[in-house]
Amino acid sequence: MDDILDNICLSKQSPVITKSLLDLAANTAVQKEFPGLDRYAKNLMGALQTGDITLTETALLSLYTQLHGAGSRYSPCEREQLSKRKGYACYPGGLSPLMKAPQFIRHDSVVADLGAGNGLQGLLLQRICTHRKTIQVELSSELIRVGRIFQHALGIDADRVEWIHDDIVHVSIEEADFIYLYLPAKPLDGGKEVYEAIARKLNRTGKPLVIFSIADCLAGFLGRQFSVVYTDGHLTCFVKK
């Protein structure tokens, strides 16, 4: 199995991502919650056996997408708050940020995912490049419950992940030096307040900071101290030195 994973040519992070996703799909507690994952895991294992990179990449993304959306439910109160903020539900950010993030994350880094869903992205980053702490901010208590199951299944220590059940605008992120977000709200009235609140916090930080913004709507609110170091139309990376 390890030899097969080591032969994937997608990137040097791919074997870690692949093993992590398969570990989740094979975990008894995860299977109990989401029994349909077995089909996606078998497809990925079959693709790995063929050595076909395109087939493997497709199967890997399918399993990733299924896991990323697991537990995406909101209570009536949470749904009302999501609507008020013009918020988006749980969308997968893709593997590209996971490939690019390690060059910015150190062993002592604090990573904050704003609108973390079930936290899969942050948990995978902990597996790819272990760091001091990941702060997972999420409005849905159900997604956090599932995220804790994922964390345990991946063997990530409790003190490396902090789960915060709250509206993003109420949460302090001053501790973080790496921020990840995927379009948590539509940039309309209600949603605009989210970006304004996030940007206020980021603009007044006095330390170096990296921001990974998917489908970016944050740029118009950040101060001139932030510069874009990478963008591909999907992922935009900001740095403040």
Query: In terms of domains, do 56 and 85 share one?
Result: no
Q: Please give the model's pTM, rounded to 2 decimal places.
A: 0.92
Q: Over the stretch 99-123, which tens digit does the pLDDT of each residue have?
A: 999 999 999 999 999 999 999 999 9
What order do you get walking across the sheet with 178-182 strand by strand?
161-165, 133-138, 110-114, 178-182, 209-214, 235-240, 227-231
Q: Over the stretch 168-177, which tens digit does the pLDDT of each residue have?
A: 889 999 999 9
Query: In terms of domains, do 38 and 136 share one?
Result: no
- Which of 35, 68, 101 represents a domain boundary (last residue)? 68
- Which of 68, 84, 104 represents a domain boundary (last residue)? 68
What mean pLDDT is predicted for residues 193-202? 91
Domain holding 57, by residue range, is 2-68
φ/ψ of 42, rounded to 5, equals: -65, -40
Query: In terms of domains, do 120 and 103 share one?
Result: yes
Query: In terms of domains, do 55 and 87 share one?
Result: no
Query: In terms of domains, do 132 and 85 share one?
Result: yes
Distance from chain centroid for Cα 169: 18
Query: In terms of domains, do 42 and 95 share one?
Result: no
Query: In terms of domains, do 10 and 87 share one?
Result: no
What does the alpha-carbon distance between residue 228 and residue 51 come to, in Å, rounded to a whole number?
37
For residue 16, which of 78, 49, 58, 64 has the smallest C-alpha distance? Answer: 64
Query: In terms of domains, do 96 and 203 share one?
Result: yes
H-helix or E-strand spanning residue 165: strand 161-165
pLDDT at 90 (0 to 100):
73
